[in-house]
């Protein structure tokens, strides 16, 4: 698929929420001092739970009524502790087995916790705290951070706790300014229809990843606005960027690819339609809510069972929207599940 981002960015269209989903399920997460969710959480949903991952906690809420159930493990150095949650470009939830992944206390390990059995297994990895994602219940992929441009391996593929293949780094570079450039969501994954997809910030290609390697899935055509390996070499180019496109937060269903784009410090929402290869930038902050009018929405995640996960941060809403939502500005996020 060729996604003409350079043209689509300048085509603005209003899009209805009913173009994506037909009904909404609201889950008001309990809010108190025991389960207060931090900034920018990652949200996953199952038939029974809403899972929230922020920088310090993994909380489990009831999908039925939003009540807080418990914290999953904790940040610490004991037997039930982990070094950090996996957020940002990671996929921390294995849908096939209902397991959660955390960065382990022991170097080069990932702790895999089962929601079904309340037990933990350990998976050994190459590289320190890489970006990673499952490719099923026992297959995984990890990407090594390429901060200095000299990492010979960019990606490892694992099956049953064994590295079965690796991919060479094709973006070697030397910093022209002797500066370390850290790009948020430099590498990131998402899943669609049981498959795992990967994009690097400074590569225009979106890949499908499996145990045989990476396979081109789509290409974002961005012309001179494409972010290339040059931004890794020149700190000022990235720091003062007012021209380049920064693509992130991709989701996909059978009809479209949904993605966000940062340009001139503003975040926009774009859609690529698979049926005819056209695309456009969405007017406003996402899908116009023509179901109940409470708030416009954008897919945070699309689960394998085709449920769309939307996250509403009450602190961003105006007073009338809070009244309609029956929420307070300092409440935990309200999770909305969209159904076809």
What is the per-residue DSSP string for 148-159? SS--SEEEEEEE
CA–CA distance, 206 with 190 (Å, rounded to integer): 10
The pLDDT score that the predictor gives to residue 140 is: 96
**Residue 113 CA neighbour count, 13 Å, CB half:** 21
Please give the pLDDT value at position 111.
95
pLDDT at 219: 98
Please state, in angstroms and rounded to a whole number, the distance separating the CA atoms of residues 215 and 49. 33
Six token digits for residue 104? 């382990």
Q: Is the pLDDT of residue 129 over 70?
A: no
Task: Summarize pLDDT for 204-236 with one digit per residue, the tens.
Answer: 999 999 999 999 999 999 999 998 888 888 877
Judge whether residue 238 has pLDDT over 80. Answer: no
- pLDDT computed for residue 254 by the predictor: 97
Q: Which of 157-166, 177-186, 223-232 has the highest mean pLDDT?
A: 157-166
pLDDT digits (tens, 9 = 90+) for 313-327: 999 999 999 999 999
Query: In angstroms, rounded to a whole number, what is the distance separating the alpha carbons of residues 307 and 47?
Result: 10
- What pLDDT is recorded for position 183? 74
Quick one: average pLDDT of 232-254?
86
- pLDDT of the residue at 161: 84
Q: Residue 276, class by beta-carbon neighbours within 10 Å (0-12 exposed, 13-18 middle, 19+ buried)?
A: exposed
Residue 339 contacts residue 229 (beta carbons within 8 Å): no
CA neighbor of 134 nearest in space, from 260, 63, 44: 44
Q: Is residue 56 pLDDT above 80, yes or no?
A: yes
User: Would you say residue 172 has pLDDT above 90?
Assistant: no
In the predicted model, is pLDDT for residue 257 greater than 80?
yes
Predicted pLDDT at 209: 98
CA 52 to mean position of chain CA atoms: 13
Q: Which residues have CB under 8 Å from 239's CB, separation 6+?
A: none
Give me the percent of the chain exceeding a pLDDT of 90: 84
pTM for this predicted structure: 0.95
């Amino acid at each position: 698929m060729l996604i003409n981002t350079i043209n689509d960015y300048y085509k603005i269209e209003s899009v209805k929420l009913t173009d994506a989903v037909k009904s909404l399920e609201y889950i008001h997460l309990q809010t108190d001092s025991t389960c207060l969710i931090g900034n920018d959480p990652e949200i996953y949903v199952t038939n029974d739970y809403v899972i929230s991952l922020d920088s310090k906690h993994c909380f489990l809420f009831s999908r039925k009524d939003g009540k807080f159930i418990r914290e999953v493990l904790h940040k610490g150095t004991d037997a039930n502790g982990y070094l950090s949650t996996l957020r940002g470009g990671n996929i921390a939830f294995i849908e096939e087995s209902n397991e959660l992944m955390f960065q382990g206390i022991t170097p080069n390990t990932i702790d895999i916790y089962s929601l079904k059995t309340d037990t933990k297994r350990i998976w050994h990895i190459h590289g320190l705290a890489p970006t990673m994602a499952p490719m099923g219940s026992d297959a995984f992929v990890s990407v090594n951070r390429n901060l200095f441009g000299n990492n010979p391996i960019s990606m490892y593929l694992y099956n049953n706790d064994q590295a079965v293949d690796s991919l060479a780094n094709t973006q070697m570079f030397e910093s022209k300014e002797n500066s370390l450039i850290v790009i948020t969501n430099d590498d990131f994954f998402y899943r669609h229809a049981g498959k795992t997809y990967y994009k690097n910030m400074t590569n225009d290609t979106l890949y499908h990843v499996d145990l045989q390697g990476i396979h081109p899935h789509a290409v974002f055509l961005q012309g001179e606005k494409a972010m290339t390996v040059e931004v890794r070499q020149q700190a000022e180019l990235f720091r003062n960027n007012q021209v380049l496109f920064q693509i992130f937060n991709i989701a996909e269903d059978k009809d479209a690819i949904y993605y966000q784009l940062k340009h001139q410090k503003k975040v926009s929402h774009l859609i690529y339609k698979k049926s005819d290869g056209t695309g456009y930038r969405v007017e406003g902050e996402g899908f116009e809510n023509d179901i109940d009018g409470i708030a416009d929405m954008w897919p945070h995640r699309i689960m394998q069972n085709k449920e769309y996960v939307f996250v509403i941060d009450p602190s961003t809403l105006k007073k009338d929207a809070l009244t309609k939502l029956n929420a307070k500005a300092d409440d935990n996020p309200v999770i909305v599940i969209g159904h076809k």
